[in-house]
């Protein structure tokens, strides 16, 4: 009988995760014999559940909210990008029996912006809203694309300032509160707050985006998010949500586990075709 390798996504909540569908589509496309399930794992059950998953022969895991920092602590060795972001979304059992931790979120965002949406990141002014785990994962990869400047704005101002300080050797970057955004303008505004998940929007001036600028919400849903709607209202050239990033970060995890790069466009197109617009 053919052997089937086991993968899963752990999170809390996890019911609406699209990861099982994405990895199923990747596996069919690349003819890989894998199973990929989802499991609701509260933070206090994480270590026990992840250890038992690998003991039973599991090959790899994705970890989402609120488990990425715990996965970072769990991983026995980490890639440089995971080390810097202090969060792990992908765990992989290696041939020597140790568990590798990686963070593919930043890669997913950059791929979706540049490759899928033809957005240039060099020499532009980027505003990142939010200073949580997702921001931490995307700031390094964004700075590597040599923007003119990145401003991080957050509800808790000190978190934005501290995060900017951590990265200020890699490029021009500042942290502030939302009030300081008055009279500033950006080419690209990235919403990395979780406000969209509760249909909320950070308080933003309506003239924050330059003409022909773009908006990107890391959050996604079956309908356009509150931030995506705001971007459309202020006439963004493109106002996108994080579905493309989700599929791209999953493709990078699939590559880490299986050594094969799946094609992402058919998967993004398929999931988009099932959404209400
Ligand atoms: P997190 O660590 O909990 O951070 C949440 C951030 O949102 C904090 O900066 C918080 O500000 C801010 N925030 C929460 N509610 C707010 C509100 N009502 N108004 C203004 N700011 C608010 O969460 P995370 O892991 O960074 O995730 C952030 C978002 O990214 C989520 O929507 C998540 O689904 C999405 N995400 C998407 C992908 C993808 O593949 N597309 C990958 C990763 C994450 P304070 O610091 O002041 O509390």
Element containing residue 217 per DSSP (H, E):
strand 209-217
CATH of the domain at 86: 3.40.50.10860
170 is catalytic: no
CA distance 99 to 40: 21
Q: Are residues 17 and 45 in the same domain?
A: yes
Q: Are residues 97 and 18 in the same domain?
A: yes
pLDDT of residue 5: 97
Domain residues for the domain of 132 are 106-112+119-241
Mean pLDDT, range 208-225, rounded to an integer: 96
pLDDT of residue 3: 84
pLDDT of residue 275: 82
Burial-class residue 217 by CB neighbours within 10 Å (0-12, 13-18, 19+).
Answer: buried
pLDDT of residue 197: 85
Q: Are residues 189 and 256 in the same domain?
A: no
Q: Are residues 17 and 57 in the same domain?
A: yes
Query: What is the residue with the minimal CA distance to atom 36 of ligand 1?
Result: 218
User: Which two tokens mark 87?
Assistant: 């969060």
Give me the DSSP letters along 6-25: EEEEEESS-TT--HHHHHHH
Q: Are residues 178 and 66 in the same domain?
A: no
Q: Are residues 83 and 155 in the same domain?
A: no
For the segment 126-172, what is each residue's pLDDT rounded down to a tens digit?
Answer: 999 999 989 999 999 999 999 999 999 999 999 999 999 999 999 99
CATH of the domain at 232: 3.40.50.720
Q: Are residues 94 and 46 in the same domain?
A: yes
> How large a percentage of the chain has pLDDT more than 90?
94
pTM for the whole thing?
A: 0.96
Mean pLDDT, range 248-258, rounded to an integer: 98
With 70 as the cut, is the pLDDT of residue 191 above it? Answer: yes
Closest CA to 10 of 55, 57, 56, 58: 58
Mutate to test the pocket of ligand 1, among 132, 164, 200 (most ligand atoms within 8 A of CB): 132
Q: Are residues 123 and 74 in the same domain?
A: no
Return all residues near 272 (Cβ < 8 A) that are at least 6 apart.
243
* Total domains, the chain: 2
For the segment 5-50, what is each residue's pLDDT rounded down to a tens digit?
Answer: 999 999 999 998 999 999 999 999 999 999 999 999 999 999 999 9
Q: Are residues 32 and 96 in the same domain?
A: yes
With 80 as the cut, is the pLDDT of residue 277 above it? Answer: no
Q: Are residues 98 and 135 in the same domain?
A: no
Atom of ligand 1 nearest to the CA of 249: 40
Of the residues 48, 59, 68, 170, which is catalytic? Answer: 68
pLDDT of residue 133: 87
């Amino acid at each position: 009988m053919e052997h089937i390798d086991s993968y899963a996504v752990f999170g809390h909540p996890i019911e609406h995760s699209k990861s099982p569908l994405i990895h199923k589509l990747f596996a069919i496309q690349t003819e890989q014999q894998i199973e990929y399930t989802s499991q609701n794992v509260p933070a206090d059950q994480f270590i026990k559940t992840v250890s038992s998953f690998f003991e039973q022969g599991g090959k790899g895991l994705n970890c989402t909210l609120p488990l990425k920092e715990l996965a970072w602590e769990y991983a026995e060795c980490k890639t440089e990008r995971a080390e810097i972001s202090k969060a792990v979304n992908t765990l992989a059992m290696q041939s020597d029996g140790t568990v590798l931790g990686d963070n593919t979120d930043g890669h997913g965002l950059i791929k979706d912006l540049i490759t899928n949406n033809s957005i240039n990141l060099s020499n532009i002014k980027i505003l990142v809203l939010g200073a949580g785990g997702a921001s931490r994962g995307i700031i390094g990869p964004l700075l590597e694309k040599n923007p003119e400047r990145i401003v991080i704005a957050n509800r808790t101002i000190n978190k934005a300032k501290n995060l900017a300080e951590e990265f200020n050797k890699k490029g021009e970057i500042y942290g502030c509160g939302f009030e300081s955004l008055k009279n500033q303008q950006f080419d690209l505004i990235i919403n990395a707050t979780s406000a969209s998940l509760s249909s909320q929007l950070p308080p933003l001036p309506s003239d924050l985006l330059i003409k022909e600028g773009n908006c990107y919400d890391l959050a996604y849903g079956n309908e356009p998010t509150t931030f995506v709607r705001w971007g459309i209202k202020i006439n963004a050239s493109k106002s996108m949500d994080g579905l493309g990033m989700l599929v791209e970060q999953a493709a990078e995890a699939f590559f880490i586990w299986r050594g094969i790069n799946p094609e992402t466009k058919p998967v993004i197109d398929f999931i988009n075709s099932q959404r209400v617009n």
